[in-house]
Amino acid sequence: MVFSSMTFVPLFLPLVLILYFVFTSPKARNIVLLVFSLLFYAWGEPKWIFVMLLTVTVNYFCGILIDKAESRKKQTVYMVLGVAVSLAFLFYFKYFGFFTDVFTGIFGMENPFTKPVLPIGISFYTFQVLTYTIDVYRKKVSVQKSYINLLLYVSFFPQLIAGPIVNYTDISASLEKRVVKAEDIYQGFMRFFIGFSKKVLLANTCGVITASLTETGTLSVAGSWLLAVAYAFQIYFDFSGYSDMAIGMGRMFGFTFFENFNYPYISASVTEFWRRWHISLGTFFRD
């Protein structure tokens, strides 16, 4: 399910909002968001939800063990365990096929392994659960004793598929208690509408231009430039549109997500471009 689909916009999102505001307690609201987040993720390929659940479960118990461990050495062991399991899943699904192709290609062998299907959003939820385990180890945040809250943090549907990557330290307080005002709903809706327009009106239009140009075969100089510009804006409006929709929906539910794109194409250098493009990903790797 994608944010711009006719299943999500007129059906899924309104139903979540209605049920969310029927309840008043943070715990009940978290359960509503969690149920719909898991439904959202399982919509296309239900079997991959178990990979995410296993990743979260391992890191949940590693966080508790880190908190209870008496020595720094034991804490390090539990932290490494959580990180290793998370990255092992990511490596297997995303890179196992590539490395086996390279290895068998070097020796002129036929690859006997079937390339695994990539679970959607695995990079984003892996990075997010790592911020939790590592920050608990660093003592930057308290351990999350509620499995529901931790699973909601990782699986929250607005930012599950395409980001932005949300650090646990930035959202931990909101998982326990949050207030949603009418202004938040209005501003969140407007931000969602802007992102939706970027995706449907701009990214998709640029995508049509890109597809038509690539199908023509030989391009003129002008055609090549048009292809380059159309593709650049297709990628930008697609990513930033999804980020805008995620930020808007987060605000509707009382969560504050930081900006993910800051006019990257006005950058004066590659370094500045990196700071402006997918800011949450750059911040994750920097931290």
pLDDT, tens digit (0-9, with 9 covering 90-100), for 230-262: 999 999 999 999 999 999 999 999 999 999 999
pLDDT at 4 over 80: yes
CA distance linking residue 37 with residue 189, whole number of Å: 19
Q: How many CB atoms lie within 10 A of CB 50?
A: 11
| pLDDT band at residue 98 under the 50/70/90 scheme | confident
pLDDT at 122 over 80: yes
pLDDT of residue 200: 94
Share of the chain above pLDDT 70, in %: 100
CA distance linking residue 213 with residue 209, whole number of Å: 6
Instruction: Indicate the Cα dihedral angle 37, 42, 199, 32, nearest 10°.
Output: -20
pLDDT of residue 125: 92
- Mean pLDDT value across residues 264-281: 91
pLDDT of residue 6: 87
Q: How many CB atoms lie within 10 A of CB 128?
A: 29
pLDDT at 120 over 90: no
User: Kindly report the CA angle at 21 between 255 and 48, in degrees rounded to 5?
Assistant: 60
Tokens of 27: 């715990």
**AA identity, residue 102:** V
Dihedral sign for Cα atoms in the order 250, 122, 129, 11: positive
> For residue range 64-89, what is the model confidence (pLDDT) as tens digits?
999 999 899 999 999 999 999 999 99
pLDDT of residue 226: 94
Closest CA to 44 of 130, 128, 145, 160: 160
pTM of the model: 0.90
> For residue range 183-199, what is the model confidence (pLDDT) as tens digits?
999 999 999 999 999 99
pLDDT at 108 over 80: no
| pLDDT band at residue 10 under the 50/70/90 scheme | very high
CA distance linking residue 146 with residue 176, whole number of Å: 10
**AA identity, residue 224:** S
**AA identity, residue 266:** I
Average pLDDT score over the chain: 92
User: Kindly report the CA angle at 235 between 277 and 252, in degrees rounded to 5?
Assistant: 70
| pLDDT band at residue 20 under the 50/70/90 scheme | very high
- Mean pLDDT value across residues 23-41: 94
pLDDT at 265 over 90: yes
Share of the chain above pLDDT 90, in %: 71
User: Please, are residues 66 and 133 in contact by the beta-carbon 8 Å criterion?
Assistant: yes
- Mean pLDDT value across residues 104-133: 85
pLDDT of residue 215: 85
To the nearest 5 percent, what fractions of the chain are helix, strand and coil? 75, 0, 25
Closest CA to 16 of 45, 190, 150, 7: 7
CA distance linking residue 267 with residue 44, whole number of Å: 37
Residues present in the chain in total: 287
CA distance linking residue 226 with residue 213, whole number of Å: 8
pLDDT of residue 47: 87
| pLDDT band at residue 105 under the 50/70/90 scheme | confident
pLDDT at 9 over 80: yes
Q: Which of 50-59, 101-110, 117-126 has the lowest mean pLDDT?
A: 101-110
CA distance linking residue 88 with residue 129, whole number of Å: 13
Counting Cα atoms < 13 Å in the Cβ hemisphere of 204 gives 10
